[in-house]
Amino acid sequence: MAKSKNEPGNIELPGFSDTLQLTPKIDKPHYAGHRDRLKQRFRDTPDALADYELLEILLFRAIRRADTKPLAKALLMRFGSIAEVLAAPEKLIAEVPGAGPTVAHELKLVEAAAKRSARSTVMEREVLGSWNKVIEYCTAAMAYETREQFRILFLDKKNKLIADEVQQTGTVDHTPVYPREVVKRALELSATAIILVHNHPSGDPTPSRADIDMTKQLVNAAKALNIAVHDHVIVGKHGHASFRGLGLI
């Protein structure tokens, strides 16, 4: 005998059947929509992004399934600015909680690309006619280094850049420079002129007495071999100083 629909166990409820399958709703992580919105803001008005927001986007590739805002802010708190974050030693970046080796490596790749891009704007160009580009490149390459570097830009007779070399790396406030070695390298490259560049990790580009004395020695050594010293530029986080502009050459 067939059971009545009204018997216990056979009551049908409106809107339900024995074939209905309920699928639980899965919420997306809160950062998913935030990433899309931030990317769109970058496409529309990149200059309007705060530093931590731009750094957030840089971190997307290294951190694919987490909110990158806390780490972006932590990096800026630790190092100061985006430029200082990128210039920081890879080991120190990795030590920031939430960063690690992958994030550190990714940020150093960004720094390397930025330096390469800046360098390409001065290579094979008439340097004295592209002076602002030279300063931009030297600032990008050296201003945020934690130790002093002494760099030389070697120029041909048309003042085009033929080589760009870091001659010495020193301590936080000193790097040794040997005029004879500088002149020797210029002769090896058949350079007819050079531009000296070094950084002050303190951020203040003001020339020291030692900087001035060393520059005079180098100018005299180069002059004896008909090599012109166009300038000596000191770069720091707070600007740059030109020896020629200051009347020191």
Q: Is the pLDDT of residue 192 over 60?
A: yes
Pick 174 or 4 by higher pLDDT.
174
Q: Is the pLDDT of residue 24 over 70?
A: no
Least confident segment among 6-10, 146-150, 219-223: 6-10
- Mean pLDDT, to the nearest integer, of 213-228? 93
Q: pTM for the complete prediction?
A: 0.65
Q: Is the pLDDT of residue 12 over 90?
A: no
Which pLDDT score is estimated for 113? 87
Which pLDDT score is estimated for 1? 52
Each domain of the chain, given as residue ranges in start order, spans: 31-118, 125-242
Q: Is the pLDDT of residue 40 over 70?
A: yes
Which pLDDT score is estimated for 81? 86
- Note whether 171 and 201 are within 8 A (CB): no
Which pLDDT score is estimated for 125? 64
Q: Is the pLDDT of residue 5 over 80?
A: no
* Span 197-218, pLDDT tens digits: 999 988 889 999 999 999 999 9
What is the CATH number that goes with domain 125-242? 3.40.140.10
* Span 46-64, pLDDT tens digits: 888 889 999 998 898 888 8
* Span 74-132, pLDDT tens digits: 999 999 888 889 888 899 999 999 999 999 999 999 988 888 877 777 666 666 677 88
* Span 142-173, pLDDT tens digits: 888 888 889 999 999 988 888 888 887 877 66
Which pLDDT score is estimated for 105? 92
